[in-house]
A and B are shown apart, each in its own frame.
Chain A
Amino acid sequence: MHVPDGFLDVPTSIGTGVVAATGVALALRGARRELDDRTAPLVGLVAAFIFATQMLNFPVGVGTSGHLLGGALAAVLAGPCSATLCLCVVLLVQALLFADGGLTALGTNVTLMGLVGVWVGWSVFRGAQSILPRRVSSVVPAGVVGAFVSVPVAALAFVLLYAVGGRTQLPLESLAVAMLGWHLLIGVGEAVITGLALSAILAVRPDLVYGARRVLQRRELTIREQVPA
């Protein structure tokens, strides 16, 4: 779901554009810390991955299906700054090459998905991780909680923006309730897919998961004298 052109008025669109530009500029600095000179190829490939997974349809039943939004998943896998850049580039490509999401609404879309979605998902993930025992196995539940929370919060941020710069007087309370209810459901799906995908990756290459690095570094190399029979 991308916000199209003409949904919010011009001042709000410019405002979110400024917010998005600032956030992306900060993320660019942060990503250099996360990834040094490997930033461009790796973030580019992760962005291609996010774009491709959004084409993977998960059947919900009665002929409908949904897909992953990927903000929280990208944050846990690649780090929040890289994830913001990923989502920003994905949205840019979708707007310019696929006409999905308006060009004037690009700032709004980046703010909602690339900043709110990613950073809420990431902070909830970190919060949950600090409560749960420090093991690799707690990365998955923390990621699930992060993904679940990030979707309805992004929806609420949208309602907030609509309250500021919406074109039509919709009853805000019922809009909030409708958006929240619907996105809680989407959040459940997002959480389940994120959890399943995370556990699949952790089983094969736990070292690739940015959110698991802290836990992995605590592992010590042990040299076993006796080989168990």
Chain B
Amino acid sequence: MHLLPAHTKIAALLCFVLVVVATPAQATWAFAVYAALLVVAVRASGVPFGYMGRRMVVEVPFVLFAVLMPFVAAGPRVHWGPLSLSEPGLLGARGLLVKGTLGVVASLLLASTTEPSDVVAGLDRLRLPHQLVEIMSFMVRYLEVVTGELARMKVARESRGFRPRSLGSWPVLASTAGALFIRSYERGERIHLAMVSRGYTGRLPVAHPLSASVAQWRLAATVPAAALVTFLVAVSR
């Protein structure tokens, strides 16, 4: 899966997630099939399950939202111990949790089997407006540099005894953000001049254009195709 061209993976991910989102929440078994498909795909990719689990923490905020849903939603209520829960709320929360989780796992599979620069090249291949691709490639390329700068500022602050604990530390942190903006912008200006002097005309040359064979497309399409079949069966029942 690491070897598949990025654009086939992005297209497959988009189709898979669309199918998952379109599935009615009542079709429990369909979601079980989707989950099984993902487990097989993760297995086949060789990405450790623990690694995926750790990166799933991005899900936490909306898990909280889903947990609150049964308490505030309207409709007939069921009593479960001391709690009074809304029935459509429970169903909605389950749908949200299941679909959200499937989406997160599928996206993580792409993120952990594809280099960021390949993702950018894949989007370019999928005909995203080239200016947007260009902006994104600069962002991805300098993301490490800018976050590294922020990390060094943090080390510098803390080695001088700074501890962000209360609202009183906001001016310090905000001026860090200000300094980071000035550094990033000036770096952008320098990069632009350096690139113009090397013949940059607003578009980076593509050294290795992405291409995918029929077999590769077929491999990438397995999971979304299986999901689509499941969806059609679930809808027709």
| A100 smallest CB distance to B (angstroms) | 4
When C-beta atoms are compared, the residue in chain A nearest to B196 turns out to be A37
Chain A proximity mask over B107-140: 1 for CB below 8 Å, otherwise 0: 1101100001001000100000101101111111
Q: Contact between B21 and A99 (Cβ–Cβ < 8 Å)?
A: no
Question: Which one of A38-46, A121-129, A214-222 is at the interface?
Answer: A38-46
Instruction: Name the residue among B55, B138, B187 with the largest chain A CB count within 10 angstroms.
Output: B138
- Give bound CA distance, A199 to B108, whole Å: 38
Q: Are A56 and B96 in contact (CB under 8 A)?
A: no
Q: Is the interface of B mostly helix, strand, loop or mixed?
A: helix
Q: How far is the CB of B52 from chain A (nearest CB, A)?
A: 10
- Complex: chain A residue closest to B171, CB-CB: A196
A168 touches B131 (CB 8 A): no
Q: Which residues of B contact A10 (CB under 8 A)?
A: 18, 21-22
Q: Does A83 contact B (CB under 8 A)?
A: no
CB pair A96 B119 closer than 8 Å: yes
A181, CB-defined interface residue at 8 Å: no
CB distance from A167 to the nearest CB of B (A): 5
Contact status of A93 and B139, CB under 8 A, knowing A44-B188, A208-B185: yes
CA distance A4 to B60 in the complex (A): 11
24 contacts between A and B (CB under 8 A): A5-B102, A5-B103, A6-B21, A6-B95, A6-B102, A7-B100, A42-B189, A47-B135, A52-B149, A55-B150, A56-B173, A59-B165, A59-B169, A60-B167, A65-B164, A77-B181, A89-B135, A96-B10, A99-B111, A170-B89, A197-B177, A204-B178, A204-B179, A204-B182
Binding site for A on B (CB under 8 A): 10, 13-14, 17-18, 20-22, 25, 55-56, 58-59, 61-62, 69, 72-75, 88-89, 91-93, 95-96, 98-100, 102-105, 107-108, 110-111, 116, 119, 123, 129, 131-132, 134-143, 145-147, 149-150, 164-167, 169-171, 173-182, 184-185, 187-189, 191-192, 195-196, 201-202
